[in-house]
Amino acid sequence: MNDLTTRTISIFGATGSVGTSTLDLIRLDRGKYRVVALTAHSNAAELAKLAKEFEAEIAVVADPEQYEALKQLLAGSQTEAAAGPDQLISAAALDPDWTMAAIVGCAGLPPTLAALKCGKTVALANKEALVSAGALMMAQAREAGATLLPVDSEHNAIFQCLQGGRIDQVRKITLTASGGPFRSWSKEQMASVTPEQAVAHPNWDMGAKISVDSATMMNKGLELIEAHHLFPVGLKNIDILVHPQSVIHSMVEYHDRSTLAQLGSPDMRIPIASALAWPERMKTDCLPLDLSKIGKLDFEAPDDDRFPAIKLARGAIEAGGAVPAILNATNEIAVAAFLKGNIQFLEITEIVSRMVDSYSPPDPDDLADIFAIDTETRKRAKAMIEDVKV
């Protein structure tokens, strides 16, 4: 990696919650970074605004229909406009020192793999890519000599706690979970929750998809799969603990029974800053942790009956093969359908469970197989949703 004063940087998903938080941190010390690529799904106006402010070399909008709009908005600026999924991959291969992978969903997989191929540093927020193609991604990172820095607050916490020992000295990893907005709700109460209620997370301000995932606790299921790939301690040595205040972001227990935990205010800019400045530390203006104000920290075991998602994810890792990719793709479609008002909240995990039980393609060997499974799962999930549509 280059000297921090000249770090080149790209942000995939620059207009999203993680993307804009990353740019907020860059604003704190603008002179340290040179922005190579910024990308967005379809919001050309927002992307162009950011590209101009950060003097990006290239701005890529995934939706090809937005190309003309982006080109016009960037006319006269120093930023080149590009569009389409292939251009996302080309932009990821521009070889910056540091890339933020913050696209939501499996759509982020191809550019993230391309960024890993460069052999530099990739900060990973895009958990769905790792869930669908974890083995492939980890192999790509190893082969290219890339550094993968976890941005998800729990995984970033574990990464920091692992500075206190070695992975082979770990006895147990504990992923903490807030429990989401319906932590203490009965199934009957959850049956009629609205998208507005589900996206209103008590502690974190996040994009819509991950907020619904937090409400179903599928987010923790996806994070379990994510942790399984990032920290090879064995699935049975990764626990989940509900901790409603979201102050302890995760813990690592070593063989000597020392447990290291990472704490902080529930603000994604803190783990992002840790990845952005790594291996240094940067100053942020985030709220400092005031435990005397918080008073007490609570913990409880997750309830598999009301929140079956964690069990589904554990089963998906044990089954291996295509199952994690099927779980992820079905969940993406089911969450989108719930947000549109087409299915009920509890049906999200029911549909995932039915799909995992009913679709068993052969194990994927490569990326093409994973995409074929992802595409077929989405088709089947949409058909399943048509049947249960409210």
DSSP 74-117: HTTSSPEEEESHHHHHHHHTT--SEEEE---SGGGHHHHHHHHH
Give me 157's structure tokens: 């916490």
Minimum CB distance to Mg ion, residue 142 (Å): 24
DSSP 341-352: TSS-TTHHHHHH
Burial of residue 121 (number of CB atoms within 10 Å: 0-12, 13-18, 19+):
buried
- Annotated binding-site residue? 71: no
DSSP 8-state class, residue 158? H
Do 301 and 341 meet the contact criterion of CB atoms below 8 Å apart? no
> The tokens 């379809």 sit on which residue?
42
Residue 153: HSE in the Cβ half-sphere, 13 Å Cα cutoff: 25
Residue 125 engages ligand NAD in binding (rule: CB under 6 A): yes
Q: What is the dihedral of CA 204, 206, 208, 209, to 10 degrees?
A: -90
- Annotated binding-site residue? 295: no
Site string for ligand NAD, 303-342 (x = CB under 6 A): ----------------------------------------
Q: What is the dihedral of CA 155, 161, 167, 173, to 10 degrees?
A: -60
Residue 127 engages ligand NAD in binding (rule: CB under 6 A): yes
Q: Which of 286/319 has CB closer to Mg ion?
A: 286
Residues 223-262 that bind ligand NAD (CB under 6 A): none
Do 39 and 67 meet the contact criterion of CB atoms below 8 Å apart? no
Residue 104 engages ligand NAD in binding (rule: CB under 6 A): yes
- Annotated binding-site residue? 196: no
User: At 216, which amino acid appears?
Assistant: T
Do 131 and 139 meet the contact criterion of CB atoms below 8 Å apart? no
Site string for ligand NAD, 139-158 (x = CB under 6 A): -------------x------
Q: Which of 154/253 has CB closer to Mg ion?
A: 154
Do 251 and 259 meet the contact criterion of CB atoms below 8 Å apart? yes
Minimum CB distance to Mg ion, residue 31 (Å): 31
Q: Which of 149/253 has CB closer to ligand NAD?
A: 149
Minimum CB distance to Mg ion, residue 155 (Å): 7
Minimum CB distance to ligand NAD, residue 141 (Å): 17
- Annotated binding-site residue? 153: yes
Site string for Mg ion, 144-183 (x = CB under 5 A): --------xxx-----------------------------
Binding site as annotated, residues for NADPH: 15-18, 43, 126, 128, 207
Interacting residues with ligand NAD (CB under 6 A): 13-19, 40-41, 62, 102-105, 107, 125-128, 152, 204, 206-207, 209-210, 268
Site of interaction with Mg ion (CB under 5 A)? 152-154
